Amino acid sequence: MTISIPTPPRQQRPSANATRERILDAALDLFADRSYEGATTREIAARAGVTQPLLNYHFHSKDDLWSSAVDRLFSQFNQALNARRDGLHGVDDLSIAKLMIREFIYFSAAHPQLHRIITQECKADNARMDWLVQTHVRPLYDTAVSLFSQLVARGEVPAIAPTNLYYILTGAGATMFVLAPECRRLSGIDPMDPGAIEAHADAVVELLFGPSASTRAIRTTHEQTRGTEMRSAKGHL
Amino acid sequence: MTISIPTPPRQQRPSANATRERILDAALDLFADRSYEGATTREIAARAGVTQPLLNYHFHSKDDLWSSAVDRLFSQFNQALNARRDGLHGVDDLSIAKLMIREFIYFSAAHPQLHRIITQECKADNARMDWLVQTHVRPLYDTAVSLFSQLVARGEVPAIAPTNLYYILTGAGATMFVLAPECRRLSGIDPMDPGAIEAHADAVVELLFGPSASTRAIRTTHEQTRGTEMRSAKGHL
DNA sequence: TCCAATCCTATTCATTCGATTAGATATTGA
DNA sequence: TCAATATCTAATCGAATGAATAGGATTGGA
């Protein structure tokens, strides 16, 4: 009688690329939550399921890890905006503008880290902020200002300076998701609920462009394009 | 010949209360800029011009220092709101509402630490955030929701749920000042300039209530009440 | 099969953190 | 005048930090 010893399952080493991505995920979450100084490399490693020295293997330093995570985040944001824009054919400029603003709100809900990291690095004499503004924020700001100038010139939105519109819109669109834990406690509403996101996008667009039937029509188009079933946004007033 | 040795100037010890205030000032600035974990007690002490162990003399711990600084900040905010409200006589409800919203924007410009600290502490499983919401944010939120409900019921503002209005308004009002260093680099505009503050308040009020002559009249009244000379807000479009 | 490169861990380093201690100096009150 | 108290500093503690080192384990190519 022979006892068959089962061959130990060949230990599959996860691909280095997958590990890198897991580290970046954990790093982004913790950097956004606890700020650069407050996030420890040991905690990032623990969340990613690896040991701490591995971070210094895949990335030169904590700084390198931070900028890599931020690079990927802004890349995803630009991809989302471009994909939305390229998916539109035969749509008028005004509708495109509304859809771009809605896309920013959807992304802010899915990735509140974007606004959180900008806010946390926005302090005097901060090299990371200089890099962040020059590399990633500046192109977005220029695009937005150009868009707002056209909208104001055509009378589609109130005559407000583009810079003010930029901060009104980013603040109004992102704050509820950035402060989601607070919002849940204060109101009982979960801002991450798809219906709540849709309701917030409706509110921001209505406030900026005024009530119009086209908004609803565009939003419906948008839902169909995304393939996501959105619940009714009513019922929590 | 006698050499008169001047008596060394009697070293005046600053009052403990003044030292406490200087420490609280430094602590609030650094907590708001670098977050709780990122702000070191040594740096706070250096900015306050004292040695680090003195913080533990005046406050039990870093936690105690943080909550003391936050307490004072919210106390100042409530004082500003109450002083504005009590200073109004014979003014209709709608005008009062607009003035309260403007006062929030003025305070956000003068004390961007308020919004910064809320944002930084707003993360899951954070005891400081629970305390912050329960003690300071909840009363403000309840008051705001009550105000927004009335405004919506009377048709003064678009029919948007109070919670959404709350985050739209706080975000739109405060973000430009919270991100002031970024705004300077992106636009060349200094959000802390009195004219820029006034322009931003105009923009937010106009977006929420629509263009109306009363807004301008109220703002003028407000300027007179404050006794501050506000420059024209035009010229940077 | 064997070697080299890749991916990962255990251990350890110097530095910095918040906090404590002991003691110096100034102020107050009897 | 002189102790008692209040305010502040110098020196130092253990713990935690980012980073480096040495080495184990897996993979892929010759």
pLDDT in tens, B198-216: 999 999 999 999 887 345 4
Nearest residue in chain B measured CA to CA from A136: B186
ipTM confidence score: 0.88
Answer whether residue B99 shows pLDDT above 70. yes
Of the given ranges (A14-23, A31-40, B112-121, B223-232), which has the lowest mean pLDDT?
A: B223-232
Q: How many CB pairs under 8 A join A and B?
A: 169
CA distance B30 to B38: 8
Q: Do residue B164 and residue A200 have CB atoms under 8 angstroms apart?
A: yes
Give the pLDDT score at A211: 85
Nearest-CA distance B12 → chain A (Å): 34
Kindly report the CATH number that applies to the domain delimited by B16-59. Answer: 1.10.10.60
In 3D, which of B82, B142, B185 has the Cα closest to residue A138?
Answer: B185
Q: Do residue A35 and residue B34 have CB atoms under 8 angstroms apart?
A: yes
Give the pLDDT score at B16: 67
Q: Do residue A237 and residue B35 have CB atoms under 8 angstroms apart?
A: no
**B84 Cβ within 7 A of any nucleic strand C atom:** no
Give the pLDDT score at A14: 59
Give the pLDDT score at A90: 87
pLDDT in tens, A208-219: 998 873 454 455
Nearest residue in chain B measured CA to CA from A40: B37
Q: Which of A182, A208, A209, A232 to mutate to test the interface with B (most CBs of B within 10 A)?
A: A182
**pLDDT range class, residue B218, cuts 50, 70, 90:** low
Nearest residue in chain A measured CA to CA from B188: A163
**A222 or B130, higher pLDDT:** B130
Distance of C1' in C29 from CA in B16, Å = 19
Q: Give one DSSP letter per residue of chain B, joined into a string.
A: -----PPPP--PPPPHHHHHHHHHHHHHHHHHHHHHHHS-HHHHHHHHTS-THHHHHHSSSHHHHHHHHHHHHHHHHHHHHHHHHHT--S--HHHHHHHHHHHHHHHHHH-THHHHHHHHH-SSS-HHHHHHIIIIIHHHHHHHHHHHHHHHHTTSS-S--HHHHHHHHHHHHHHHHHTHHHHHHHHS--TTSHHHHHHHHHHHHHHHH-S-HHHHHHHHHHHHHHT-PPPP--S--
Contacts of A182 in chain B (CB under 8 A): 118, 122, 129, 133, 137
**A53 Cβ within 7 A of any nucleic strand C atom:** yes
**DSSP class of A189:** -
Strand D: which residues have Cβ below 7 Å from it? A 10-13, 39-43, 52-53, 56, 61-63; B 13-16, 19, 50-54, 57-58
Distance of C1' in C2 from CA in A232, Å = 65
Nearest-CA distance A191 → chain B (Å): 9
Nearest-CA distance A99 → chain B (Å): 18
Nearest residue in chain A measured CA to CA from B163: A187
Query: Quick one: average pLDDT of B153-172?
Result: 97
Q: Do residue A182 and residue B129 have CB atoms under 8 angstroms apart?
A: yes
Tell me which nucleotides of strand C come within 7 A of a protein CB: 6-11, 16-22, 25-27
Nearest Cβ partner of A172 from B33, B123, B168?
Answer: B168
Question: Smallest CA–C1' separation from B14: which nucleotide?
Answer: D7
Average pLDDT along chain A, 237 residues, taken 10 residues at a time: 32 69 97 96 96 95 97 98 91 94 98 98 93 98 97 96 98 98 97 98 96 54 42 33
Using the structure block, give the residue that is written with the tokens 């055509």: A154
**pLDDT range class, residue B232, cuts 50, 70, 90:** very low
Q: Do residue B176 and residue A164 have CB atoms under 8 angstroms apart?
A: yes
**B39 Cβ within 7 A of any nucleic strand C atom:** yes
Spatial contact of A35 and A120, defined as CB atoms under 8 Å apart: yes
Answer whether residue B57 shows pLDDT above 80. yes
The topology under which CATH files domain B69-233 is Tetracycline Repressor; domain 2 (1.10.357)
**DSSP class of A60:** S
Structure token digits, residue B221: 């009244």
Answer whether residue B14 shows pLDDT above 80. no
Burial class (CB within 10 angstroms; exposed 0-12, middle 13-18, buried 19+) of B150? middle
Domain boundaries, chain B: 16-59, 69-233
